[in-house]
Amino acid sequence: MFENNAITNLLHIKYPIFQGGMAWIGTAELASAVSNAGGLGIIGAGHMPPDALRAEIQKVKGWTKNPFGVNIMLMSPFVKEVMQVVVEEKVPVVTTGAGNPGEYVPALKEIGSKVIPVVASVALAKRLVKSGADAVIAEGMESGGHIGEITTMALVPQVVDAVDVPVIAAGGIGDARGMAAAFALGAQAVQMGSRFVVSEECIAHPHYKELVVKAKDRSTVITGRTLGHPVRSISNKLTRKYEEMEAAGASNEELEKLGVGALHRATHEGDVENGTVMIGEISGMLNDIKPVKTIIEDMVNALPSVFKTSVAKTN
Ligand code: TUI
């Protein structure tokens, strides 16, 4: 199965399924479960200080022998230090988000890490492939958290046509139908965040998971457009307050202050009214909390066999 797949071959993994590297939620527990189930588990470094990230990497190394990754959020104040940690720890796969990682690519490649940036545009995909990216994750605006402007349906085939490295599709994928659609668009793998939030191994507060399970197709909203970093999350007291303040002409500083600590408030304290519940548009079809292994195996079993034996593009 997946013998002809460029991503399983490049990364030495069983299934072409990545777990999105989510801040506060993509911990060693979730990442090692996904890697043990044959996918690529990814620690979400988010705003983590370097020592915390090193501890998380060492936990994953103890809990799985399979390849794993770290996602580096480029808006983090610790970006230089956490890059240094992933180099020292020789992390097999490094994904990046929320910015352009070009300056860090040479150091990562030097120690043999595979570098796979998340892109939300064709232009950045092309630039990063020139800088040496081994593959790119094309993430549509259906995703939760920090997003771009283009949908997965429109972005993936345009990135596939523009670059000569494998493309991983992300945004709006939660089951075998989404995976088949991604392969049909020319992607060689998928990345899922939301589906893994509602897994047994995910350490998110039960209130967070319950809200995702209850969510419907139109439950999410995008805030932060005027600040230049749009974020998708479940509509709640905090997003409504944000919208009211934005409409009343609040300053960028006041709006940014609302977001400080808000993700942790939801993921760890369980305050899902005054915190940010980042999740993608597919939350409406996520109706149960399952073990990671079941999520992955159900998905692969239901995938039409044509996508397991051949892929649309073999570069
Ligand atoms: O990074 C994400 N999703 C995230 S990061 C995050 S942490 C956070 N916490 C609080 C507030 C804001 C963020 C939560 N969710 N996804 C990957 C992603 N990258 N989506 C979009 C992009 C992106 C956007 C623009 C990547 C590059 C880019 O352009 C940069 C450039 O210089 O051209």
Instruction: For residues 130-149, give the mean pLDDT.
Output: 97
Q: Right CATH number for 6-203+288-314 from 3.40.50.12280, 3.40.50.670, 3.20.20.70, 3.40.50.720?
A: 3.20.20.70
Q: Which atom of ligand 1 has the smallest separation from the CA of 148? A: 21
Cα(308)–Cα(291) distance, rounded to whole angstroms? 23
Q: What is the pLDDT of residue 311?
A: 72
Instruction: Look at residue 183 and tell me whether its pLDDT is greater than 90.
Output: yes
Tokens of 193: 């965040």
Report pLDDT digits (tens) over 61-109.
999 999 999 999 999 999 999 999 999 999 999 999 999 999 999 999 9
Q: Residue 148: CB within 6 Å of ligand 1?
A: yes
Pocket test for ligand 1, best of 25, 42, 118, 146 (most atoms within 8 A of CB): 146
End-to-end CA distance of the chain: 18
Distance of CA 302 from the midpoint of ligand 1 (Å): 31
The pTM score is 0.97
Q: Which atom of ligand 1 has the smallest separation from the CA of 71? A: 1
Instruction: Show me where the domains of the chain are located.
Output: 6-203+288-314, 216-278
- Count of CB atoms situated within 10 Å of the CB of 121: 16
Torsion sign, CA atoms 184, 189, 193, 195: positive
Q: How confident is the model at residue 312 (pLDDT cuts 50, 70, 90)?
A: low
CA angle 14, 121, 306 (to 5 degrees): 35
